[in-house]
Structure 1
Amino acid sequence: MPFGHDMVHSLATVVELVNTSPSTGGDDGMATLAELRAFAESRQMSGITTLTPRDLVQVRRVREAFHRVFTAPDLPTAVRILNGLLAETRITPRLTEHDGHPLHVHYFAADASPAEHLAADCGVALAHLLVEGEWERLRTCSAPDCEHVFVDESRNRSRVYCDSRTCGNRMHVAAYRARRRA
């Protein structure tokens, strides 16, 4: 997928955000303000200075909307969910350079809350993916005990596990052992 730095970064951010949800089969990785702060720092969310309990509630709501986009049964449903999320944001495109990154576009307003920041930047990245006819790249891990989401960036759209080192390796070892027993 030939996307620029900002698109790749936003897609990775939305995947990481969704995978903090208990809806993906694990614990809530966004249960506290400290976890939200760590997420914002690790994803280099620019312009975030203070975080409030309200920010945490809003980010968790946005996270669940993104999860519904990834797990939508069809493209029209994904479009409807994403349009609803984007309609709630003040999308204000502007060119920027920061933190050593080349010139790129931010879609969130300068005074945006963390939730609006995520909804705008990640929502627009997902919108571009859908517009390009790449909806099938939004996937859920095929490992039976994992429900993490990912964006399949493989050339032939063949990726099935969220992480080849964990779920992929575990499933390949299990298949090998099953063959050996047979």
Structure 2
Amino acid sequence: MPFGHDMAHSLTTVVELINTCPAVDGKEGLADLDALREFVTRRQVSGVESLTDEDLAEVHALRTAFYRIFTASDQATAVVRLNELLSRTRMTPRLTEHDGHPLHVHYFAPGAKVAEHLAADCGIALAHLMVAGEFERLRSCAAPDCGRVFVDESRNRSRVYCDSRTCGNRMHVAAYRARRRA
């Protein structure tokens, strides 16, 4: 499924946010304000002036909510969880151009805190994905020692590993070795 720039950016952002969660791999990827600041800069989250400890706590709670959406057992559960998240978000859709990006829609309210900004933009991207009947593209890595999430953008929805070069390669080598021993 080809995603537009905005949707692809928001989906990548939500995946990266979720994958900082200790529930994913036991490590805290957003341990302090410096880590949050680096995430905001790397993901080009616009309109964020300053960050506080309250922002960090809100982003931690938000990523847990997103993780629960990605790992929902079915689309109906994911929809309920996403609607809960979106209902707590002030949204003011508006067209904007910035940082060399073409005209696109921002969903967060002007002056929104970073967690609300992420909830609105990433939540809307997930909502569009579900409305398009693409819930099954929200995946957790099939490697037994990996809990990372990803969006399967393959044409035939066949991707099972978060990264084919790490988890995929490791699992294929393990399967090959097991076959050789047999």
TM-score over 0.5 for the alignment?
yes
In structure 2, the residue matched to 1:98 is 98
1:97 match: secondary structure: strand
2:26 match: secondary structure: coil
After TM superposition, the score normalised by the length of structure 1 is 0.98
In structure 1, the residue matched to 2:4 is 4
- State the 1:25 CA deviation: 2.1
Query: Percent sequence identity over matched residues?
Result: 71
Unaligned runs of 5+ in 1: none
1:102 match: secondary structure: strand
- Residue 87 of structure 2 corresponds to residue 87 of structure 1: yes
1:92 match: secondary structure: strand
In structure 2, the residue matched to 1:149 is 149
After TM superposition, the score normalised by the length of structure 2 is 0.98
Q: CA RMSD in A?
A: 0.7
- State the 1:2 CA deviation: 2.2
In structure 2, the residue matched to 1:67 is 67
- State the 1:61 CA deviation: 0.5
1:103 match: secondary structure: strand
In structure 2, the residue matched to 1:128 is 128
- Residue 167 of structure 2 corresponds to residue 175 of structure 1: no
In structure 1, the residue matched to 2:47 is 47
**Aligned equivalents of 2:91, 2:49: Cα separation in 1:** 20
In structure 2, the residue matched to 1:26 is 26
**Which one-letter code corresponds to 1:101 in the other structure?**
H
**Aligned equivalents of 2:132, 2:169: Cα separation in 1:** 31
**Aligned equivalents of 1:41, 1:106: Cα separation in 2:** 17
Runs (4 or more) in structure 1 with deviation over 4 Å come to none
1:144 match: secondary structure: coil
**Aligned equivalents of 2:119, 2:25: Cα separation in 1:** 23
**Aligned equivalents of 1:178, 1:76: Cα separation in 2:** 39
**Which one-letter code corresponds to 1:62 in the other structure?**
L
1:28 match: secondary structure: coil
Unaligned runs of 5+ in 2: none
